[in-house]
Each structure stands twice: as structure tokens, then as C-alpha cells.
A = this chain, B = another copy of it.
């Protein structure tokens, strides 16, 4: 168990290190207004905190630096999430105040302001469209052999896919099929579409169209949706301004990781409510060992649709950042709610 004094000293050290990125020494701490123990006392406490694993030294005679365990403790017990500044508040209000109709735009903008306000890199996992319900299907022939299928969902999301059509199938057949499909598939989740095509609709189509076998084969290819949720990233270059990433090789591995999207997307797909933090090695990726990630999901009703995340160095301004990520996710949830 930590004494009050230890708590206080630990907090001061971490707060200060987050600000300056420099190891913190005992003399420096003792000069703070809020502190009036002598440097020697503080040194003793620091030695104890180090024994307990909350602090580290960069070399034998350096000041102390928080360990990952230290950050973890700080985030779990010492953090007092800051109020948003009035400037931050107005930015949120301006962004979410005006009515925007396209979800993409909201997310993109959100990623922008989050990275702007924090100077870290924001990553927003867009909504999965698999669960969206089909509102309308349209097939437009392009050439003799190709057509484009357009799927509009209840959320206003539009998917399209060009697919080949065997020449034997006449446009009029195609039209009939689309009518049937529209009739039968409305309100079905996108991910269900290929299945549905099998069961009931199969026989219906057979009655109305020639070459239904071919047709179904190709239609299915048009209806299969395997696109992963989109990632919206803001402030990629912010990472380059962090003193811990002066090293080109570190930056490169982080950048490649963000560029690649797949791992990141996997990492962010959590179902937990509220703010989540991953500090340093708590994430499995080598490239991100000096990073922390703050995430919060956003919802439509009770269903989670996506995730807001912020990537920065482990030495992150947790108090500000946590407040901002939380606020943003709330705003996004609210926006969703207003729409549907």
C-alpha cells in the first residue's frame, strides 16, 4: 500500500515527466509549491517507489522516469480527468452543432479535431456495414458484359460493386430480377444477403428469368460484402513531433503499422464500455511498445458501431486525452441517435 506522500510524489513525477519528457530529480520536486519535504526525503521515497516498480532510472545517477506499471497506476488511481477548456468545448459544439447528413463526413471531421486538439494521432474505426439493412438494390448495366450493383442501406450507406453478366442475360431479365430481389430482400442485413439469395428467392427467380443459374452465380458475387470497416486516421504526422520518436526507425515501424490498417483495426475491435487504455506493452505489437492507446466505443442505441482511438507515446497527457476521447465518443453516439 502506498502512503499519501508516496502517492503525491508519484503523481508529481508523472505529471512532470509527461510535460517535459525529462527524468525528474528529487531537488526539482522539493521546490514545487505543493511539496515541502526535503530532497533527501523524496529520494528515499523515490527509491521505495522504484523498488515497487512504479519508477525507473535511465541510468544509475539519473532522475526518475515512470515505468509502465507507474503509468498504469497513474491512470487507474491518480487521474483526475480534466474538464474541457472552453476552447475545446466550442470546437466540439461547432463541429457537432451543424447538421451534417453524411456519416463519413462526421467521422472524418472527428478524426481531424481529435488529432488537432491532442497533437497525437487519432484513429476512428468506422461503422461495420454488415449489420445495415438493405433499403434498395439497383443494378445498372454498363456494357454487354458488365453491370454495377448499388446497395443503399437504411443508414444511407451506399455500396457498389461492378460484376460481370453473362451475355445471355437480357437487361429485361435483369430488371425483373432486381424487382423480385428488392421486394424480397428489403430490410435484410447486408451480411445475410448471400444466404437469403439461396433459400426462398432461388425458386422465384427460376420462374421469371431464363438462365437463372448463371444469373444467381453472378448476382451472389455482387451481393457478397467483404469490405472491412473503414479506418479514419487524423494527424499521422503528429507522431513525428514527439521527442521519443526522434528515431527514424521507430517512426517507420509505427507508420507502417498505421498504414497497414489491418492490425490496427483488429486491435481496436473491443466491446467494452467506457474508456479503455492500453499502455506500452499491454498491446501486442512491437512497433507500438512505446505507445499508449486510448479507446472508447460509440453506439447506436445499445449496439456498438465503431471505436474512437487515440495513439500517442506512453508519456501521454492522459488527463486531457481521456476527457477528449470520451467527449468525442459521446458526441458521435448522440449524432447517431439523432439520425435514426
Contacts and interface: CB of A to CB of B under 8 A. Distances in A.
Interface of A: 101-102, 135-136, 138, 140, 142-143, 146, 148, 150, 152, 154-156, 158, 160-164, 236-237, 240-241, 246, 248, 251-252, 255-256, 259, 339-340
A145 B149 CA distance: 25
A148 B142 CA distance: 21
Nearest to A241: B252
A142 B135 contact: yes
Copies in the complex: 2
A146 B100 CA distance: 11
A221 to B, nearest CB: 10
Contacts of A143: 339-340
A101 B164 CA distance: 8
Contacts of A251: 240, 248, 251
A156 B8 CA distance: 64
Contacts of A138: 136, 138, 150, 152
Nearest to A253: B237
A189 to B, nearest CB: 17
Contact of A156 (B102, B146, B155, B255): B146
A152 B147 CA distance: 10
Contact of A101 (B101, B102, B156, B162): B162
A102 B163 CA distance: 9
A156 B162 contact: yes
A102 B146 CA distance: 10
Contacts of A246: 248
Contacts of A240: 248, 251-252, 255
11 contacts: A101-B162, A101-B163, A138-B150, A143-B340, A150-B150, A152-B160, A158-B160, A237-B252, A240-B251, A240-B255, A251-B251
A66 to B, nearest CB: 24
A154 B164 CA distance: 15
Given A142-B154, A160-B158, A255 B241 contact: no
Given A163-B101, A248-B246, A140 B146 contact: no
A106 B255 CA distance: 24
Nearest to A256: B237
